[in-house]
Amino acid sequence: MLEFEASLAKAEAHVGVIPVPAAEVIAAQADVARFDVRAIDEVMQSAGNLAIPLVAALTRNVGDVDAQAKGFVHYGATSQDAIDTGLVLQLRDALVLIDADLVRLTQALVHQARKHAGTLMPGRTWLQQALPTTLGVKLAAFVSALDRHRDRLERARHEDLVLQLGGAAGTLAALGSQGLAVSEALAEELGLDVPDLPWHTQRDRLCDIASILGMLVATLGKLGRDIALLAQTEVGEANEPAAPGRGGSSTMPQKRNPVGASIAIAASVRVPGLVSTMLIASVQEHERGLGNWPAEWETLPEIVMLAAGALAAMLDVAQGLDVDAERMRGNLGLTNGLIFAESAQIALAPTIGRDAAHALVARACRRALSENAHLRDILASEPEVVQHLGSERIDALFDPGRCLGESSALIERALARHPRQAH
Amino acid sequence: MLEFEASLAKAEAHVGVIPVPAAEVIAAQADVARFDVRAIDEVMQSAGNLAIPLVAALTRNVGDVDAQAKGFVHYGATSQDAIDTGLVLQLRDALVLIDADLVRLTQALVHQARKHAGTLMPGRTWLQQALPTTLGVKLAAFVSALDRHRDRLERARHEDLVLQLGGAAGTLAALGSQGLAVSEALAEELGLDVPDLPWHTQRDRLCDIASILGMLVATLGKLGRDIALLAQTEVGEANEPAAPGRGGSSTMPQKRNPVGASIAIAASVRVPGLVSTMLIASVQEHERGLGNWPAEWETLPEIVMLAAGALAAMLDVAQGLDVDAERMRGNLGLTNGLIFAESAQIALAPTIGRDAAHALVARACRRALSENAHLRDILASEPEVVQHLGSERIDALFDPGRCLGESSALIERALARHPRQAH
Amino acid sequence: MLEFEASLAKAEAHVGVIPVPAAEVIAAQADVARFDVRAIDEVMQSAGNLAIPLVAALTRNVGDVDAQAKGFVHYGATSQDAIDTGLVLQLRDALVLIDADLVRLTQALVHQARKHAGTLMPGRTWLQQALPTTLGVKLAAFVSALDRHRDRLERARHEDLVLQLGGAAGTLAALGSQGLAVSEALAEELGLDVPDLPWHTQRDRLCDIASILGMLVATLGKLGRDIALLAQTEVGEANEPAAPGRGGSSTMPQKRNPVGASIAIAASVRVPGLVSTMLIASVQEHERGLGNWPAEWETLPEIVMLAAGALAAMLDVAQGLDVDAERMRGNLGLTNGLIFAESAQIALAPTIGRDAAHALVARACRRALSENAHLRDILASEPEVVQHLGSERIDALFDPGRCLGESSALIERALARHPRQAH
Amino acid sequence: MLEFEASLAKAEAHVGVIPVPAAEVIAAQADVARFDVRAIDEVMQSAGNLAIPLVAALTRNVGDVDAQAKGFVHYGATSQDAIDTGLVLQLRDALVLIDADLVRLTQALVHQARKHAGTLMPGRTWLQQALPTTLGVKLAAFVSALDRHRDRLERARHEDLVLQLGGAAGTLAALGSQGLAVSEALAEELGLDVPDLPWHTQRDRLCDIASILGMLVATLGKLGRDIALLAQTEVGEANEPAAPGRGGSSTMPQKRNPVGASIAIAASVRVPGLVSTMLIASVQEHERGLGNWPAEWETLPEIVMLAAGALAAMLDVAQGLDVDAERMRGNLGLTNGLIFAESAQIALAPTIGRDAAHALVARACRRALSENAHLRDILASEPEVVQHLGSERIDALFDPGRCLGESSALIERALARHPRQAH
């Protein structure tokens, strides 16, 4: 907000609306070190917003130095101009930080996805083993989603982070015929674009940012949840990096809790409600909202902080992900071959029909379960299957490396934006 | 979903995965008229999703005609492929309808904004009269927001409405080495793009659409709320169009309730919670979500329907908006000139300083209130004011047409995309 | 709503406000079979609510039979009286059905909890094995929560399901001095209580019901989630009941998906957003809300249906829960004794101090992990441990039956309301 | 949390689980002044929760004084026991403060409702004038809702604020056979009830509190919104109390913004999303949630603070409410008598039928509007009306004091719990 006030004064001096010396004094005084933030905060309650006591304090400070300059503080602006543009400047900084971590997280996942392009593991649907897949294709899907979020944030930075300057009713009335000239100069000063119109009560740009961060956090929450599920004692396929004191228990010495995942999941539980608040809050009355506007003040910063925190937590996890490829392969063997049931069905379908194949293999699966036998042996004991496939092809059905479909090609498609780095 | 199944068969025949005659039979049977929708719905409960009984019914129908073709129904696909691609096709159609109404609503508002570019009315902040503005600039801000929503939807149609085909675990395993070829052919058949990867559990694209519709509904809710506020008995500046039976009361013969606004406001209250559900639901486990995926099934369609309904309701209102420009002008006179207080302060600031001007005018406002006198007369009785401004300039301060700042320019900026139509 | 109109007429006849024969005609005509519901629905859009066209249709029907009675339809009431009281009557019926299933579900869980009071299984925190527990204590915690929900619903039925009759502005003005008398008679007729005041825009009672159902659904969601986690291929401790066609896959013949859990989880993802909508919607303006009131119309019924559906789904699951006690016991052995680490620490703490014991056992756990040895053997090789505990007591530490603490007593406390049934 | 640790030690000493001198040292050290809160906070991030570093610090502090006592810190408890019971103790204190303000607010409204029992004002539905009502009946409806919230909070304090002590897996295993005895002693020490079972992952009690506060905030939001609507420049029937610096504008000297209402409305926009987060978060896995539990940590305190803030803001407003009874009466005259249309219809209905009366009066209303004439004069010019009612009764229809129905009785019913105080 102080950056807004300083830049506003400079822009108005540039355009000739206020004297240059006044602008210089205002800009010099707009230094947070000169303010008693707690005192400003206390007045805010009855004033109704933070800009009123801040502008009052700035005016006092300026007046102490230059009685004439005092009259040109916050000239032609309204409280919301300072608050909204201040918010936009903060969002701009925050999104730079978020983008940097997003790049790092994506790189870490690209690296892991390439490394594990051939690491076989069970694909799971409805929390049940379904078909073999690879850790590479699993992680590539996150790279793809995170790339989309980066693109969205990049777009949002251009479309949404624009100047707010409208004056009391959004018409720039207090600046007479120089409102647009001041807007242009101020935007230049701050490095922001000028929107077609002030947006005091058209809040879609802020909702856009909130929504994109909401989607990012959902992806991070899924990454955390998938890793926490893989880290279960009974699954044991991946763990968060170990570090002294990380994920311990106050009472159980053996515990290694997935604390990074927990942070991301917690964010993914909290942010959706906050995004809904931003949408509800954006229905603001006439030329300035009452109640709904203040409802944004803590909500959007919370969304930003939760997104940044979840991102940092998952960056740690992704960079140090502790993969147990042997356990993954071992888990593929847990079902007595049932995880290959689809392969068998697909192999039989062309000759006996998809329907009959489904029925035949389902029956074989039930036998495998009740007899605690391997599906391969059950199928090898069915004359119809042997007749159609031959025993060699039956064996081949149970090679996980042969039933990965387009996994490799899919990984390459998803990672195409991220060229392998030369050494 | 039937369109998906028919096109899948055709694409697979084209690529050579299934026989052409089988594809022809499947496509011919994939006709909703041949299905008992209620029976399918009943099985769904225990099956867990709608595709299972639908595919079973389609398989039966195909089998009745051609026993061999039966084996090629839904070949290599999983339930979610049919459900998600079916959803994408529905969304594509829905967004065309929404866009059409969005164009109509924007045109209606452009027309009203141009017509009322000079229609003076009170600008209101915190539900209090603040400064004069025009109905034109008020409506132009909605045009600007709706144009942004159109751009977002246009982008979303390209980015988000992509094919889903991944098979049981998202690797296209059941199609062996022809998974990508089938994907390309199927996408061609349906007129959709092929994504880099199947997105069974990466749901950000659907959340993107939900969020954009959420923002659109918020704008419509604000339009409805502003009009409902203007339609209050004590304000009376605008009304919804009158029509027989519209907005009556079961007991009060004089009532003309803003029913269109009510529909838009109701949607703006309901959709944010649904958007938050989409975000929460998008944290889906591993290769297929359990519970969270089904949570989307009714939620996204509800968002679409609420958006479309709110849009249609506000289209009616905007096209027939009943503006009382005389009452607007009259309301500008309600405050004994207090609405012009900022003008007075601005006029005095350059000579006596912004701070002193604020204090002087605030004092004059209090006198105007307590003495029930016009602010102009109070100011004219203050020697300091007369000395600095002169009585003619004092009078001019209270001409609303002179304190509109950049209103006209702002309207033109906001409406620049919408050229005036030649007659 | 028709029940409201019929009872209103009878009550007004009873009090003497309208003629008895008119009330008889109205009551006879208030039969849903006599109405074209679709036509009423169509008019609703422009009328603004459902009561207006319904009352109009009832008035026509009555008029066809008795021209004089026509004038006494809906006498003194407003649309919202019919809509709200109609809703209350529906809620009353719905809560009876929900309570019945809640009783059945609780009984099923009480039965399972008693049966499995001694069924040992791993307790899990942060999705990691922590300490042994029993299935009995796990299920007893659900019984306890469901009993609280029953108590809340029972209370809500008395406190919240009250008559709405207030007339156009909530003052019963149209009934002159007989408003309260009619209220009493109408409430008597419908079997509802009379509130202190009409509650057209004080919606806390409806929010109370929504919140309680929200809490119930959260408990059902947790029950579903816990069971789905136990049903994972790698855990295999419990499964949903098997039934033909239940939880199959369109492509994987071996799948047995937890479809009941999925329904409950989906509800637990959807209902919170709907509860937030009820709270937002309950901020209704003055004597009748605009937009916010209609926002309730579909939201509360959805909450009720989702709760009822989740309840029915989990009732099926609980009644047929397929427990694999052997696998549970087997899973206790997965960690080479680490799950008993706390026991060892507790045993050592009194002599060497909690801190030193924690450090010693944590060190032993790390050795057990790195050497792939059983924690018992590691501890037995530590002279300090042997000295303090002796080898017999070391062995006893690893008996899961000895480290259940107060499990049995806790089950009895939780099930105290549910006496064992005599045979 | 320190109060929990101190009381736990005392309780365990009382039961004989740990030595009395150790408990004395622990209790003495459990003093927040001895802790570096920032350092604890920093460790929390990797530890996963706040109790781990706090217990570690307490253990160090105790060890510095008494090496033996060190081993008995946090004895038999788990982190969540400290965190949850600490939360319960904070909630208990918070609810006492909230109840005190709730009593004050209710008293202020009772006082205003009695004072304005006869203050006539327009009742408004759909933001349109509907029928006359009184400020008394309007405010009495708030008293009634706030009384219900008080009852709910009172009940919640007893039902929901219970001890949490379960140890690592909720079985009190680490306390052997003395778990329940320690629970009883600890609960006695803290003044809390012992629940039937530990509730680590059964979070309905916390949701109950969140929901009740959510309903309270909704009522406060409505109170704020109604007052803000009455304070509109064009309505002017009520204002927030004036105070220096309260509700000013940084640019408009005449503004008196409803800042108290704004705080309550903002809370009512924010809390519903937070309540939905509590419900979502309460689906916690097995014996300790991962991610969902931490999602509660900031959410519930935010709900409490927003409720307390909204309450304090509306208390100010209610105590100093600035009512303009003259303007209220004046506004009743704004519609040329249309606000009395229902009275006329009701008067005519018994003789010509409700339907015909509605049509006749609606026609008269339309004439009144188009001819800008008073409805009384229009009706007096209709022979049918004069014939049925006579001119004296026509006049009486337009006396607002005669069409208040049961207003007085309703106020008395709503205020019955609040006896008039003797002087």
Q: What is the ipTM of this complex?
A: 0.96
Out of A122, A130, A232, closest to residue C127 by CB: A232
Within 13 A of A43's CA, how many CA atoms are on the CB side? 15
d(CA D224, CA D321): 11
Report pLDDT digits (tens) over B16-61: 999 999 999 999 999 999 999 999 999 888 888 999 999 999 999 9
d(CA D325, CA D334): 15
Residues 6 or more apart in contact with residue C359 via CB below 8 angstroms: none
Residues 6 or more apart in contact with residue D422 via CB below 8 angstroms: none
Question: What pLDDT score does D351 carry?
Answer: 83
Average pLDDT over residues D236-249: 85
Rg of chain C on CA atoms, in Å: 30
Are B95 and D223 spatial neighbours (Cβ–Cβ below 8 Å)? no
Contact: C122, A334; criterion CB under 8 Å? no
Tokens of C252: 């994987």
Within 13 A of C295's CA, how many CA atoms are on the CB side? 36
d(CA B247, CA A50): 42
Q: What is the mean pLDDT of each run of 10 residues along chain C (423 residues)?
A: 98 96 98 94 88 95 93 93 98 98 98 97 96 97 98 97 95 93 98 98 98 98 98 97 77 80 98 98 97 97 98 97 97 93 86 83 90 94 91 90 91 95 61
- Asked if the C-beta of A170 comes within 8 angstroms of chain D's C-beta atoms, the answer is no
Contact: B283, A75; criterion CB under 8 Å? no
* DSSP collapsed to 3 states, A251-316: CCCCCCCCHHHHHHHHHHHHHHHHHHHHHHHCCCCCCECCCHHHHHHHHHHHHHHHHHHHHHHHHH
d(CA D179, CA D166): 8
Question: Pick the catalytic residue: B288, B343, B376, B407?
Answer: B288
Q: How far apart are the first and last CA of chain D?
A: 47
Q: What value does the mean pLDDT of chain B take?
A: 94
d(CA B74, CA B164): 13
Question: Pick the catalytic residue: B249, B276, B381, B391?
Answer: B249
- Closest CA–CA distance from residue C194 to any residue of chain B (Å): 22
- Asked if the C-beta of B266 comes within 8 angstroms of chain C's C-beta atoms, the answer is yes
Which of A16-30, B339-353, C333-347, D267-281 comes out lowest in average pLDDT? B339-353
Taking alpha carbons only, the member of C326, C373, C364, C317 closest to residue C344 is: C364
Q: Cβ contacts (< 8 Å) between B331 and chain D: which residues?
A: 233-234
Active site residues of D: 249, 288
Biggest CA-to-CA distance, chain C: 103
Residue B391 has pLDDT above 90, yes or no: no
Contact: A251, D47; criterion CB under 8 Å? no
Question: What pLDDT score does D250 carry?
Answer: 64
Quickly list DSSP for B3-38: HHHHHHHHHHHHHTSS-HHHHHHHHHH--GGGS-HH
Question: What pLDDT score does B252 carry?
Answer: 67
Question: What pLDDT score does B272 carry?
Answer: 98
Question: What pLDDT score does C420 carry?
Answer: 86
Helix boundaries (H) for A135-190: 135-160, 179-190
d(CA D2, CA D61): 12
Contact: A232, C234; criterion CB under 8 Å? yes
Give the single-character DSSP code of A404. -
Are A105 and A117 spatial neighbours (Cβ–Cβ below 8 Å)? no
Partner residues linked to D125 by β-bridges: C288, D128
Out of A122, A130, A233, closest to residue C128 by CB: A233
Percentage of residues in chain D having pLDDT higher than 90: 83
Contact: C292, B280; criterion CB under 8 Å? no
Are A345 and A358 spatial neighbours (Cβ–Cβ below 8 Å)? yes
Can you tell me which residue has the tokens 């905030």? Answer: D217
Tokens of D334: 């704004």
Is the sign of the CA dihedral A386, A391, A396, A398 positive or negative? positive
Contact: A252, C122; criterion CB under 8 Å? no
Residues 6 or more apart in contact with residue C148 via CB below 8 angstroms: D159, D204, D205
Q: How far apart are the first and last CA of chain B?
A: 47
Can you tell me which residue has the tokens 């989307």? Answer: B296
* pLDDT confidence band for B352 (50 / 70 / 90): confident
How many angstroms separate the Cα of C243 from the Cα of each of A362, A367, C262, C321?
14, 16, 16, 12
Give yes or no: A288 in active site.
yes
d(CA B280, CA D277): 10
d(CA D316, CA D320): 6
Length reported for chain D: 423
* pLDDT confidence band for B342 (50 / 70 / 90): confident
Residues 171-230 of A with CB under 8 A from C: 228-229
- Asked if the C-beta of A250 comes within 8 angstroms of chain D's C-beta atoms, the answer is yes
Phi/psi at A196 (5° precision): -60, -35
Give the mutation candidate from A44, A279, A290 for the D interface (greatest D CB count, under 10 A). Answer: A290
Question: What pLDDT score does D252 carry?
Answer: 67
Q: Annotate D299-336 with b (16+ C-beta within 10 A) or e (fewer).
A: bbebbbebbbbbbbbbbbbbeebebbeebbbebbebbb
Report pLDDT digits (tens) over B186-206: 999 999 999 999 999 999 999
Residues 6 or more apart in contact with residue C1 via CB below 8 angstroms: C50, C51, C54, C82, C83, C85, C86
Tokens of B115: 């017509």
Report pLDDT digits (tens) over D328-345: 999 999 999 999 988 888
Q: Residue D154, Cβ neighbours under 10 Å: how many?
A: 12
**Amino acid identity for residue D29 in this structure:** Q
Contact: B356, A71; criterion CB under 8 Å? yes
Tell me the pairing of strands B128-134 and B238-239: unpaired
* pLDDT confidence band for D350 (50 / 70 / 90): confident
d(CA C369, CA C382): 16
Tokens of A233: 């004692």
Biggest CA-to-CA distance, chain B: 102
Q: Which chains touch D (3 or more CB pairs under 8 A)?
A: A, B, C
Contact: C341, A262; criterion CB under 8 Å? no
Taking alpha carbons only, the member of D368, A138, A7 closest to residue B284 is: A138
Are B58 and B29 spatial neighbours (Cβ–Cβ below 8 Å)? yes
Question: What pLDDT score does D353 carry?
Answer: 76
d(CA D306, CA D300): 10
Question: What pLDDT score does A251 carry?
Answer: 63
Contact: C254, A228; criterion CB under 8 Å? no
- Asked if the C-beta of A256 comes within 8 angstroms of chain D's C-beta atoms, the answer is no
Give the single-character DSSP code of A72. G
Question: What pLDDT score does D255 carry?
Answer: 73
Active site residues of C: 249, 288
Residues 65-84 of B with CB under 8 A from D: none
- Closest CA–CA distance from residue B146 to any residue of chain D (Å): 24
- Asked if the C-beta of A362 comes within 8 angstroms of chain B's C-beta atoms, the answer is no
Are B142 and B223 spatial neighbours (Cβ–Cβ below 8 Å)? yes
Tokens of D295: 């999602």
Q: At what angle do helices C259-281 and B37-47 cross, to 10 degrees?
A: 100
SS3 (DSSP) at A390: helix
Taking alpha carbons only, the member of C137, C131, C139, C186 closest to residue C164 is: C186
Give the single-character DSSP code of C404. -
Within 13 A of D70's CA, how many CA atoms are on the CB side? 18
How many angstroms separate the Cα of A402 from the Cα of each of A97, A118, A131, A379, A386?
43, 11, 11, 18, 19
- Asked if the C-beta of C232 comes within 8 angstroms of chain A's C-beta atoms, the answer is yes
Report pLDDT digits (tens) over A129-171: 999 999 999 999 999 999 999 999 999 999 999 999 999 899 9
Residues 6 or more apart in contact with residue D385 via CB below 8 angstroms: D344, D348, D360, D364, D379, D394
Q: Residue C281, Cβ neighbours under 10 Å: how many?
A: 29
SS3 (DSSP) at A369: helix
Question: What pLDDT score does C253 carry?
Answer: 67
- Closest CA–CA distance from residue C275 to any residue of chain B (Å): 8
Contact: C248, B168; criterion CB under 8 Å? no
Q: Which residues of chain A have pLDDT under 70?
A: 249-253, 422-423
Partner residues linked to D133 by β-bridges: D121
Contact: B127, D365; criterion CB under 8 Å? no
Tokens of C325: 């006690």
- Closest CA–CA distance from residue A242 to any residue of chain C (Å): 12
d(CA C209, CA C95): 10
Residues 314-343 of B with CB under 8 A from D: 331, 334-335, 338-339, 341-342
Rg of chain A on CA atoms, in Å: 30
